[in-house]
């Protein structure tokens, strides 16, 4: 769900960078308020590496297979480190594999990063004062699935409206519906995986679930 280079007009790509810079500034401001921000950096960085690697795991969804995005889980575990982590991950993906792009790094950061932060708040507020596997699984599912659906919505909206061609309102509407409908199974799979991973972490190592 990365928008590659070459599609979006220059003002939109620059706008994406501006929005991302503002979000990163806010996140870093919150991180620096912590008593020892340097202590959390290795944790955030190694979890970012783990997410990057885990996103390479294939999930068979017949007749094809899909890659996990894990942006919801990343938001849940990394909190304010999520947007910087996503930008770093997107940068490595663009340079190492050619996925996404450097001109669209900001806009892709918005598409994936903002829903990840939404997932963080959904999980934290949802599980506040509640312990046990049931609320953890429920809110982890919501965080994982909604993060993907929000990303898909932003992705479809940007892709369909910003393509340098006049497709007509009807075609644009159909294209958006097709993109959104095609990603519903992925959102459900991500929701289930996020819920299962969260309950696994709750059993095996609850401190990971408390986040960075």
Partner 1 sequence: MSCNVPQTKTSVLHRMDPRFRLVGLFVLIFAYSFVSDFRLLGAMLIFTLMLFFISGLPARFIVQKLKLPSLIILVLVLILPFVSGQNTLLDLGFISLKQEGLHASGVIAARFLCIITTVMIVLHTAPLLTHVQAMRAMGLPWIMADMALLTGRYLEVLGCDLGRMQTAMRLRGLNASRPGLYMLRTRAWLCGSLLVRGLERADWVYRAMRLRGYGQNRTATLQFRATALDMAVLSAALLAAGTVMGLEIWFGL
Among positions 56-85, residues that touch partner 1 (CB under 8 A) are 56-62, 68, 70, 73, 77, 81, 84-85
Instruction: Choose the stretch contacting partner 1; rule: CB under 8 A; options: 89-97, 109-117, 122-130, 145-153.
Output: 89-97
Measured CA to CA, the distance from residue 1 to residue 100 in angstroms comes to: 8
DSSP for the chain reads --PPTTSS-HHHHHHHHHHHHHHHHHHHHHHHTSS-HHHHHHHHHHHHHHHHHHTT-EEEETTEEEE---HHHHHHHHGGGHHHHHHHHHHHHHHHT--S-STTHHHHHHHHHHHHHHHHHHHHHHTTT--SHHHHHHHHHHHHHHHHHHHHHHHHHHHHHHSSS---HHHHHHHHHHHHHHHHHHHHHHHHHHHHHHHHHHHH-HHHHT--
Instruction: Choose the stretch contacting partner 1; rule: CB under 8 A; options: 97-105, 106-114, 115-123, 126-134.
Output: 97-105
201: its two tokens:
């972490």
Does position 98 interact with partner 1 (CB under 8 A)? The reply is yes
Does position 22 interact with partner 1 (CB under 8 A)? The reply is no
* In the complex, least distance from residue 158 CB atom to partner 1, rounded to whole angstroms: 11
- Cβ distance to partner 1 smaller for residue 49 or 126: 49
Interacting residues with partner 1 between 102 and 141 (CB under 8 A): 102-103
**Which residue from 19, 67, 99, 180 is in contact with partner 1, where contact means CB under 8 A?**
99
Does position 182 interact with partner 1 (CB under 8 A)? The reply is no
- Cβ distance to partner 1 smaller for residue 129 or 153: 153
Cβ 127 vs Cβ 76: under 8 Å: no
**Which residue from 97, 125, 129, 169 is in contact with partner 1, where contact means CB under 8 A?**
97
Size of the site for partner 1 (CB under 8 A): 79
Instruction: Choose the stretch contacting partner 1; rule: CB under 8 A; options: 106-114, 120-128, 146-154, 165-173.
Output: 165-173
Does position 178 interact with partner 1 (CB under 8 A)? The reply is no
């Amino acid at each position: 769900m990365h928008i590659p280079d070459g599609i979006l007009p220059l003002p939109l790509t620059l706008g994406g960078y501006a929005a991302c810079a503002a979000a990163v500034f806010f996140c870093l401001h919150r991180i620096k308020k912590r008593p020892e921000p340097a202590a959390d950096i290795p944790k955030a960085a190694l979890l970012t590496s783990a997410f990057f690697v885990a996103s390479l795991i294939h999930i068979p969804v017949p007749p094809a297979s899909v890659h996990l995005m894990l942006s919801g889980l990343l938001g849940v575990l990394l909190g304010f480190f999520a947007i910087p982590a996503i930008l770093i991950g997107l940068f490595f993906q663009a340079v190492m594999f050619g996925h996404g792009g450097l001109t669209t790094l900001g806009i892709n950061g918005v598409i994936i990063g903002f829903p990840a932060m939404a997932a963080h708040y959904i999980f934290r507020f949802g599980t506040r004062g509640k312990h046990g596997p049931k609320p953890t699984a429920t809110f982890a599912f919501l965080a994982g699935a909604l993060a993907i659906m929000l990303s898909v919505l932003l992705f479809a909206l940007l892709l369909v409206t910003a393509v340098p061609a006049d497709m007509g309102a009807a075609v644009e509407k159909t294209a958006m519906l097709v993109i959104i409908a095609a990603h519903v199974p992925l959102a459900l799979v991500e929701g289930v995986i996020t819920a299962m991973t969260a309950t696994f972490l709750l059993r095996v190592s609850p401190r990971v679930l408390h986040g960075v």
